[in-house]
Every structure is written in structure tokens, then in C-alpha cells.
Amino acid sequence: MTTRPTPTTSAWRIDGDAVLKEAVQRIGQTARRDFLRRSLTLGGLTMLSGCSLVDESSVETALTRISRLNDDVQGWLFDPNRLAPTYPESMITRPFPFNAYYGEDEVRAIEESSYRLEVTGLVADKRKWTLAELRAMPQTDQVTRHICVEGWSAIGKWGGVSFGSFLRQVGADLSAKYVGFKCADDYFTSIDMPTALHPQTVLALTYDGQPLPPKYGFPMKLRMPTKLGYKNPKHIQAIFVTNTYPGGYWEDQGYNWFGGS
């Protein structure tokens, strides 16, 4: 006695085999493609980093080098004349968020009468500045969005001295690579010269029309709507112009240095 599959089953089997065959082929293609992509990426990483990715520290080194390459690319792409969006005052976020590497109860209290801004490095005029002298310079303001990598953004209004005008005033070497900032709370960061000279980069002395409150960085912060929050130093104590990479508080812990937004 012969058993024959019913036509339906047979048909299913044929289709089933074809489907299975095609599926295996597709999986094969995908796997091969993924394998290639992965090896290319690893090869690329190894080429860029100039080291083999055998342990955690060499992987870290590679990632840091990739991030520095990313800085170069962001630097090349940065358009010194392109303005960040501005907003009507009605859109200001109230209350504006506070953020720092410590809590709001630890905000530094800085004495206005003894405060002097230090300016060092590749500048012609290294004299210190009082707040009154900075307030006597032409002032500008902006309503722009601050974006923090922690996942929030807020619109605020800052006023102060155009940073480009300030750098020209002190005779800074405008062909230098970096401008670094040391803050009264041990925070520090640094930026590229094209961003320092961007028309919306402001040495901010006010928030919402009032002297900068302690929590937002009294006596001054650098406000750059073209950069992420951590690149905007509060409580600035010293500004220096240099060709030596200065890093930064978060940047040295792996945040991307250019930090464009």
C-alpha cells in the first residue's frame, strides 16, 4: 500500500522547501553583510586608533581618538555665520532649570567687590577685569535654547558682552586653536576659536535682565547657543587663549569635546 501525501500537504512541502531555502539564503546574506560591516568597522577603528582593541584601555583610547576625529569633523562643518534659533520672550522656560556637577545647595557664593576676571595666554593685554569694566562695554542679549545632554532643554535670556569683541579688545591671537575657561567651582572647559568668535557667543553678565544669579553662574558665564550645556561655563574666573588642548571637566570623562548643538 502506498501512502501519498494529499495534494495540499505536497504543495505545502514544495512551498515550504522553497521558502526555507530562500530564508537560509537571506539569513546567509545578512550574516555575511553584518560580518563584513563589523570587520570593516573594527578595521577602521584599528586604523584610526593605531592600536589593537585587545583590552579595555585600548578600546577607551580608540574611542577617545574617534571622538577627537569627530571634533575635527564638527569643526570643519561649523558655519561661523549660521545663527542658532532665537525665541520670543514669551517662550522663556520658567523657572529655568539649574544644573551643575553638584546640588543647588552647594552653589558657590562669589564676592563682587573682590572679583577680578583673569585673562592669560596668547593675549596682548593680560590685565584683570572688574565687573564694572565689563558692564561698561557694549551689551547684547539673546533668547535662545540651552540643551543639556541629560535630556532636557530650556529657553532662557542672557545678556552681556559679545565674546568676539572682548577677545579683540584684549588683543587675543585670533588664529590660536583654543579658548579655555577656569571656573570658581573647579569646573573647566575649552572651546574652538571659530565658536569663540561666533556672533551669538556672549560673556553673559545677566539672566532675564537681572545680574546673573549665583545658581546660573554669577558673576559671569559663557553663553553659546551653538553648543551643548556642558560647554557653557558658569562662574568664570579665568580665560586663557592657547594652542595646547585644554580638555574639560566632562570632556576628560568622555563627553565629546566640540559639543555642538
CB of 96 to ligand MTE, least distance (A): 6
> Which of Mo ion, ligand MTE, none interacts with 233 (beta carbon under 5 to 8 A by kind)?
ligand MTE
Site for ligand MTE in 36-95 (CB under 6 A): none
User: Is 159 near ligand MTE (CB under 6 A)?
Assistant: no
- Asked if 160 touches ligand MTE (CB under 6 A), the answer is no
- Minimum CB separation of residue 99 from Mo ion in Å reads 5
Q: How far is the CB of 179 from ligand MTE (least distance, A)?
A: 15
* Alpha carbon distance 256, 149 (integer Å): 11
Q: What is the binding site for Mo ion (CB under 5 A)?
A: 148, 229-230
Which alpha helices (H) appear in the chain, and where do they start and end? 7-49, 56-77, 131-135, 163-169, 193-196
- 257 binds ligand MTE per the rule CB under 6 A: no
- Rounded CA-CA distance 163/237 in Å is 15
Which span sits near ligand MTE by CB under 6 A: 14-22, 78-86, 97-105, 121-129? 97-105
Asked whether the beta carbons of 99 and 150 are under 8 A apart, the reply is yes
Rounded Cα distance, 195 and 80, in Å: 7
Q: Give Cα separations from 101 to 94, 110, 116, 122 (angstroms).
A: 22, 18, 24, 30
Half-sphere exposure of 10 (CA within 13 A, CB side): 5
- Per-residue DSSP letter, 94: S
What letter represents residue 151's amino acid? G
Based on the number of CB atoms within 10 Å of its own CB, is 178 exposed (0-12), middle (13-18) or buried (19 or more)? buried
- The reply on whether position 185 binds ligand MTE by CB under 6 A is yes
The binder of 257, among ligand MTE, Mo ion, none, by C-beta within 5 to 8 A per type, is: none
Which of 148, 170, 174, 238 forms a contact with ligand MTE (CB under 6 A)? 148
Among residues 176, 202, 235, 239, the one that binds ligand MTE under rule CB under 6 A: 235
What pairing do the DSSP bridges indicate for beta strands 236-242 and 118-121?
Answer: parallel
Check binding of 101 to ligand MTE (CB under 6 A): yes
Interaction between residue 110 and ligand MTE (CB under 6 A) = no
With a CB cutoff of 8 Å and minimum separation 6, the contacts of 233 are: 181, 183, 187, 188, 189, 217, 221, 222
Q: How many Å apart are CA 45 and CA 189, to the nearest integer?
A: 27
CB closer to ligand MTE out of 164 and 229 = 229
97 binds, among Mo ion, ligand MTE, none (CB under 5 to 8 A by kind): ligand MTE
> In the bound complex, which residue of the shown chain has the CB atom lying closest to ligand MTE?
229
Q: Choose which of 53, 63, 84, 97 interacts with ligand MTE (CB under 6 A).
A: 97
Of the pair 162, 232, the CB lying nearest ligand MTE is at 232
Binding residues vs ligand MTE (CB under 6 A): 97-101, 148, 183, 185, 187, 216, 229-230, 232-235
